[in-house]
Each structure stands twice: as C-alpha cells, then as structure tokens.
Copies of this chain bind each other. A is one copy, B any other.
Amino acid sequence: MLERLSQISSHTRASAIPVAAHPLDPLSAAEIKAATAIVKAAYPDKVLAFNVVSLADPRKAEFLAWQADSEKAAKPAREVDIVALEAGVSGVWEGLVDLTVGKVNSWKLIAGVQPILTSEDLIKVELVIRKDPKVIEQCVISGVPADEMHKVYCDPWTIGYDERFGTERRLQQAIMFYRSDEDDSQYSHPLDFCPIFDTETGEIIAIDIPAVRRPLSKHKHANFHSKAVAELGGYRDSVKPIVVTQPEGVSFKMTGREIEWQNFKFHIGFNYREGIVLNNISYNDHGNVRPLFYRMSLAEMVVPYGNPDHPHHRKHAFDLGEYGGGYMTNSLALGCDCKGVIHYLDAVFPDRAGEPITIKNAICIHEEDDGVLFKHSDFRDSYATTILTRGVKLVVSQIFTAANYEYMVYWIFHMDGTIQLEIKLTGILNTYIMNDDEDARGFGTRVYPGVNAHNHQHLFSLRINPMIDGLENSVQMVDAVRDPNPVGSKENYYGNAFFPKATVFKTAGEAVTDYDGTTSRTWDMINPNKKHPYSGKPVSYKLVSREAAPLLPKEGSLVWKRAAFARHTIHVTPYVDRQFYPAGVYVPQTSGEPSMGLPEWIGDGSANVENTDVVLWHTFGITHFPAPEDFPIMPAEPMTLLLRPRNFFLQNPALDVPPSYVMTTSGARNAGASTVESLTDKVSRLAFSETAGSVCKCGNNCSGACGSSCECK
C-alpha cells in the first residue's frame, strides 16, 4: 500500500495521499487536506469544525525499529490526531486518521471537555462585543460614547474555570480596553467589566460587573509607536549598527527537518501546541553516534495572576494547553527576530474548515558567536603560552504572541555539549483599570496613571524524554552537602569537607521533588548501566535550573487544582507513547476536580522509574511583580536553564574546535609565531585608531596577541 501511494505521489500532485519525508515531520499542507478529506468522506452528514489536525507522533518502538533498519523495518504508520466540533453537539469528536492506509482508525465523542482555542476562535470575540447591546450599555456607563464602539477592543481570554458556567459551553472572557486611535495601544485604557462569550453560538452570555465601578481613564494613552516616541523627543541617534556576516555560510546542514551541527544531530518538529519539538537528539562522539534525548519540548505552561478580586482569579492562562504555542506563533523575518545567516522552517495548520494555513518562517535556525569557549594562559612566561578558543552556538527559536504577551523561545546548542533553553518574556503587561485614588493593595502595581498591572507568574513545564546512551535511564537528585563529621574530627579535621549527595529515584512518588537553593540542587538524567571509564560515575546530562519559582496560588486553590504539574519542580514518570500534556489533553474549562495529567499518571506513586524509559517533567519560571519600566511595552526579561553533559564524554568534547589563538611554550620561546593557523577573525579593529598597522598586526593574525602583550602601535 505504502509503495503504491508513494509511486502515485511521485507521479502526480493530485488528490493522492502524499507521503511524508520523515516520520517525525509535521503534517504538510497536502497531508492536512488529505486527513480532513478522509474524515469528511467518512462522516458526510456531520457539520464539523476542525480544531486540531496534527501529527500523532509515531510510536517510539516502531520509530526506533525503522530508524535502526529502514530497509527491513516498516515505516511507522503516519497517523493524524483530529479534534473536531460538531454544531449543536457538546464535547469534542476525537479521531485518529491513518494516512498510510487512508482511513479513520478511531472516532469518538469525548463529552464534558472543551478543545483548544484557535486564532479563528479568538478573533471573533471583538466583533461580537462591539455590537452587543448589553456591552454597549456598559461601555457607555464606563464613559465610552455608544458611537465609539469601534474604539472598544478586547483581548479574548480562556475563561479558566468559572463554577457558574462549568464546562458545557465553550467560553471566552473578554478583557476589555479602549483605544482612542487605531494606532494607539489599548493597554493604558482598560474597561472595568468583563463579558463572557460563547465561542460556538457567538453570544455574550453574561457580563461580570465589579461592585466598585471605574470610569474610563482620562489619562493620555501610553504608547510605544513612532508617534509617541516623537513626543518624547524622537528616536535616539546614538546607536551604531552591529553587522553580523557569515561569508562562508552556516556551519549546519539540513536534510529536510533533520539538522547536523558540530556533532549534534536532531530533528526539528513543530506542532500547534508545544511549538518547537526537538526529536531524537544525538551526538557523534568521534564516530560513535550516542543518543541523548528522544524528545524535548515545552509541554505546558500556566500564568496565574495574584489579584484575589473576582473575576481576576480567572486569569491563569495555560498558554500552551488552552491556545497553543504553535497556533500563536509569529512569522519571523531576516535581520529582525534573528540576525545573520538564517534558515527558516514554515508551519502549517488547519483552519476550521480543514484547509491548510501556512505560517511562513515559524522557526528560525541560525548561529551566533558564543564568546570564549575556553582559555588558559601560563603565568610562567607572562601568559605568552596561551590557548584561546572561541565558541559558536546554534539557536533554534520561535516567538509566539499570547494576546498581550510575547514569549521568545530559544533552544541553544553549545560546542561543549550543553543544551540551553532560554525564554525571554516581552510584549505588554495584562492591565486592569484603577481609579486615581485607589490602592493596588500589593496585588499589583500602578505602572501608569489609571493602570494596574497585577502580580503574576510564568511557570513552564519542560518535558524531556532522555535517552542517555540508550533507553534505560534513571533520574537522580544531587545536593551539595557538608560532610557530617564535626570540625576537629579525624574525618573532617578542618571542617572543609563537602560532597555531592546523589539520590536515585526508584518510583514516580519519590521523584516528586522541589528546587533547593541551600544545596544548589540539580537533577541528573543518567544511564545507570554505563559508567564513565575514568570517574566511574554513570554517564549523565545534568539539569541546572535556578529559576524555579514555586506555585504561589495556595494549596486547594483553583490554579493549584488545575495546574497540578506546577506544584513541584520535578516529576518523573515511566514513558508512555503520546503522553505529552501534564495538565491534561483538554485543558480549557477544567475544574481541576480531579486534577488532570501528572497526578492521574503518577497515581499512588508506586510506578518504577529506575533504569527504564522515563520522562522528566521540569517546572520552571519566574514571579513577575510589575514595575513602570515594564510599560507601555516590556523589555525582554530572560530566564534560562542548562542541560550539561557530566561524566558523559571522555574529556572536554570541544578540544578539536580550532582555536582563535594558540601558542605553546616552545613556540613562544622560539619563533614567537602562532603554531596553528589562527582563526581570529580578520576584521576586528580598534575603536579609536585608524592605522592599518593596528588592524593588520593584531586583527589579521593576532601575533603575540592573545594573552601576551598586543603590539598595536
């Protein structure tokens, strides 16, 4: 069957079902068309609105078998997850389509759940509220003339959970704003009431009106566009351009969506929910291709707000589970989001009708200078004996917009084998109106007259399925501890003894742990079956993550119940195919009773997670107490974590990176000439000297330069 289809598709681009280049590739436009066509054909009399049409990841065993021997082993079935709504039917249709055989493998109605909100769902709300008489009435009460409804805007938000409305209807809450001019930013002019919108019927079913009314702010709009900057005195002219070029092109190679860079090899997936998915990461260790991670992604996140007043408790968006980090992703552009020499990957999603939509340049792949990778100089000859090697890093990134906020996600690969996840928060604070005589009571900050920016957290769930030198892995918690023996004792006479205390998790229950700054706690993903030949310790990748703010909503609170994954820094579960979402598959309007996802899977905690195929779930993030500096648009706030090889490589894996400068002791004593062709870039120069000499002598070959005295005269 597979053969037949591939032949067809090679002959013709007709309605035949296309065959994907790689089992982990996201669905192509043709595949989305094909999948929805198959569903429509199977259920001709249903009026379906497609919500999700996305690759169902190949089953791991099938994929690995195929990868191990693609001649003998069958290519994994190309399956498609379908989530669709039927007009007038509560709940969602959940289907699994097999593209390879062109049929619907399963099709069931899941009652009492709500699907993710798509861009189409979000965009509707504003159009409706502008026409709704009750909303208009409230606008007028707030001080917006009825003929200015075109200046009324709303950010459509998931409702979280509201006990009054439950889960039956598919709801959004409209966070209301006023924009005096279409080019202004509405966030300095919130309105004080909150309409509730039925996404399917398109009606406003309720309006939440606060006890204390707050009329529209009379203060001037705060904006960040050219007009506003002009009023500040215009743009500064003191910024000189920094130009990054790669005359010989990039150091990475793409084969479809598989990338090879500096011994790393992995596949770059992307889906509506997690956005970037890194699959099948391996490292070529001098010819030995060693698996590191089978799959890594941001699986969920929650943004709880800290103002207790109704209805602000509903502001705790699960940006991935309720909107989708893929659905909200930006199209990126050269020289803007990334600089240098770039390779982009597009994303394709279905619209409500099941037709494919392409987001161009959804993923940016590029390299950046990574500073000094390593350096050492010998004091014996006044630092003439020197090695200095600069690094380059590979960055795979996306940016998604969650109404007001932007999340910039950077997966960074370093030459020393470290994999770094950096997330930068920018965009605009979610704001609420406050009267001039009002006090934010510590639950928010007045960032501008009339504007209350509420305290909030950004908590992410990083899902890692390690494959450190094989499928059987364990996770150990490592604490830096003082030796128990007292000062003056034989074992610890001077009291300086300390060591790393490693605790290997045996069960999922034991693995539920939190960050401890007092022991600089880290967690290692280890292969207990493979010891390092020198250290005797198991090969591992260490998770170093310091931005591990605890969930601040209280135990028993709505957020605590719904975002169970965020209660702890670390969870470890046995690997299960297609078990991806730690707050559940259908997150919108869950009550948290029972808590979905991780608590369900962990159950009584008895499941073995030692020396088996495991998944590590890491909650990290920050608590944000807004300040006026974050307004009207927020400078990027960074957070980062590292996955570092420890006891994995025989030695520093970057030793063979060509140095910028290397001088041996004998070299320094004799010639004084560099002993390898220096890789120093040819263009670095002095800021306040134009003499060619200085550029040439130091810029070109850096002779006697690094570490020893640079003779730029």
Q: Report Cα–Cα, A374/B336, bound state, in Å.
A: 11
Interchain CB contact under 8 A, B313 and A408: no
Q: Which of A208-258 contact B (CB under 8 A)?
A: 222, 224-226, 228-229, 232-236, 238-252, 254
A368 interface residue (CB < 8 Å to B): yes
- The residue on B at minimum CB distance from A249 is B240
In the complex, what residue of chain B is closest to A658 when comparing beta carbons? B235
B331 and A623 form a contact (CB under 8 A): no
A453 to chain B, nearest CB (A): 9
A375 at the interface (CB under 8 A from B): yes
Q: How far is the CA of A234 from the CA of B455 in the complex (A)?
A: 54
Q: A673 at interface (Cβ–Cβ under 8 A)?
A: no
A257 to chain B, nearest CB (A): 13
Residues 433-489 of A at the B interface (beta carbon under 8 Å): 441-443, 445-449, 455, 478, 480-483, 485-487
Cβ-defined contact, A652 with B634, below 8 A: yes
Which listed residue, B241, B359, B635, touches A679 by the CB 8 Å rule? B241
Q: Contact at B242–A243, with CB atoms within 8 Å? A: no
Q: Which residues of B are found within 8 Å of A126, using beta-carbon distances?
A: 380
- Which residues of B sit under 8 angstroms from A550, Cβ to Cβ? 518
Sample (7) of A-B pairs whose CB atoms are under 8 Å apart: A235-B676, A308-B491, A333-B705, A335-B698, A361-B712, A494-B557, A496-B557
A392 contacts across to B, CB distance below 8 A: 239, 242
Given A660-B335, A702-B335, does the pair A499, B235 have CB atoms closer than 8 Å? no
Within 8 A of B (CB), among A69-104: none
A426 at interface (Cβ–Cβ under 8 A)?
Answer: yes
Query: Is B680 in contact with A336, judged by CB distance below 8 angstroms?
Result: yes
Interfacial chain B residues near A534, Cβ < 8 Å: 446-449, 628
Q: Are A334 and B387 in contact (CB under 8 A)?
A: no
- Whether A556 is near chain B, meaning CB under 8 Å from some CB there, is yes
User: Are A535 and B628 interface neighbours, CB within 8 A?
Assistant: yes
Flag the segment in A43-51, A193-201, A337-345 that touches B: A337-345
Cα-based distance from A441 to B664 in the complex (angstroms): 35
A151 touches B (CB below 8 Å): no
| Given A242-B244, A380-B123, A652-B632, residue A336 in contact with residue B660 (CB < 8 A) | yes
Residue contact A688 to B494, C-beta cutoff 8 Å: no
Contact of A708 with B by CB under 8 A: yes
Contact, CB under 8 Å: A698 / B379: no
* B-facing residues in A534-582 (Cβ within 8 Å): 534-537, 546-550, 552-560
CB pair B387–A406 under 8 Å, yes or no, is: no
Q: Which residues of B contact A552 (CB under 8 A)?
A: 480-482, 496, 498
Contacts of A485 in B (CB 8 A): 308
A308 touches which of B239, B403, B492, B532 (Cβ 8 Å): B492
Task: Tell me whether A535 and B236 are in contact in the complex, defined as CB-CB below 8 angstroms, given that A390-B336, A652-B635, A710-B361 are known contacts.
Answer: no
> Contacts A369-B339, A658-B236 hold; do A499 and B443 have CB atoms under 8 A apart?
yes
Please determine whether B681 and A496 come into contact, CB atoms closer than 8 angstroms: no
Q: Verify if A376 is at the interface (C-beta below 8 Å from B).
A: yes
Residues of B within 8 Å of A518, CB to CB, are 517, 550
Copies of this chain present? 2
Q: Are A374 and B535 in contact (CB under 8 A)?
A: no
Question: Quick check: A424 and B372 within 8 Å, CB to CB?
Answer: yes
Q: How far is the CB of A479 from chain B (nearest CB, A)?
A: 10
A105-150 contacts to B, CB under 8 A, are 119, 122-123, 126
Does A691 make an interface contact (CB < 8 A)?
Answer: no
Which A-B residue pairs are the 9 nearest by beta carbons?
A495-B557, A333-B705, A517-B517, A416-B635, A313-B494, A546-B546, A335-B684, A442-B499, A498-B552
A401 interface residue, CB < 8 Å from B?
yes
Given A340-B684, A426-B376, A662:B233 Cβ within 8 A: no
- Enumerate chain B residues within 8 angstroms of A646, measured Cβ to Cβ: 627, 629
Place the interface of chain A in its size category: 35 or more
Contacts of A499 in B (CB 8 A): 306, 441-443, 455, 625
A497 contacts B by Cβ under 8 Å: yes
Q: Is the CB of B242 within 8 A of A706?
A: no
Report which of B338, B360, B705 forms a contact with A684, defined as CB distance below 8 A: B338
Counting CB contacts under 8 A, is A647 at the interface?
yes
**A643 contacts B by Cβ under 8 Å:** no
A707 x B330 contact (CB < 8 A): yes
- Contact indicator B688/A336 (Cβ below 8 Å): no
A12–chain B nearest beta-carbon distance, Å = 24
| A290 is an interface residue with CB less than 8 A from chain B | no
> Does A516 have its Cβ within 8 Å of any Cβ on chain B?
yes
Q: Is the CB of B331 within 8 A of A709?
A: yes
- A513 CB, nearest partner CB in chain B, Å: 13
A288 at the B interface (CB under 8 A): no
Q: Is A388 an interface residue (CB 8 A)?
A: yes
Could you say which residues of chain B place their CB within 8 Å of the CB of A333?
Answer: 661, 680, 698, 702, 705-707, 710
Beyond the given pairs A243-B245, A375-B408, A628-B649, 14 more chain A to chain B contacts, judged by CB atoms under 8 angstroms and listed by A's residue number, are A226-B675, A240-B251, A243-B244, A316-B496, A333-B702, A335-B681, A335-B699, A340-B684, A344-B710, A480-B625, A487-B555, A496-B552, A517-B518, A635-B652
- Contact partners of A635 in chain B: CB under 8 A: 373-374, 414-416, 418, 652, 654
**1/0 contact trace for A304-345 toward B, CB 8 Å?**
111110101100100000000000101111111111111110
B705 touches A520 (CB 8 A): no
* Distance, CA A625 to CA B153, complexed state (A): 55
Q: Nearest-CB distance from A121 to chain B (Å)? A: 11
Whether the pair A631, B658 counts as a contact (CB closer than 8 A) is: no
Assembled-state Cα–Cα distance A606/B224 (Å):
48
Q: Does A603 contact B (CB under 8 A)?
A: no
Let me know if A666 and B342 touch, CB within 8 A.
no
Q: Is B308 within 8 A of A554, CB to CB?
A: no
User: A322 → chain B, closest Cβ, in Å?
Assistant: 15
A683 engages B245 (CB within 8 Å): yes
B657 touches A631 (CB 8 A): no
Question: Residues of B contacting A229 with CB < 8 Å?
Answer: 655-656
Q: When the two chains form the complex, which single residue of B388, B406, B482 contacts A554, counting CB atoms closer than 8 Å?
A: B482
Known contacts: A343-B688, A373-B635, A652-B633. The answer to whether A336 contacts B705 by CB under 8 A is yes
A 617-650 to B, binary, CB cutoff 8 A, 1 in contact else 0? 0000011010111111111100000001111111
Q: Given the complex, which residues of B lie within 8 Å of A340, measured CB to CB?
A: 242, 684
Q: Is the Cβ of A625 less than 8 Å from the Cβ of B706?
A: no
Is A168's beta carbon under 8 Å from chain B?
no
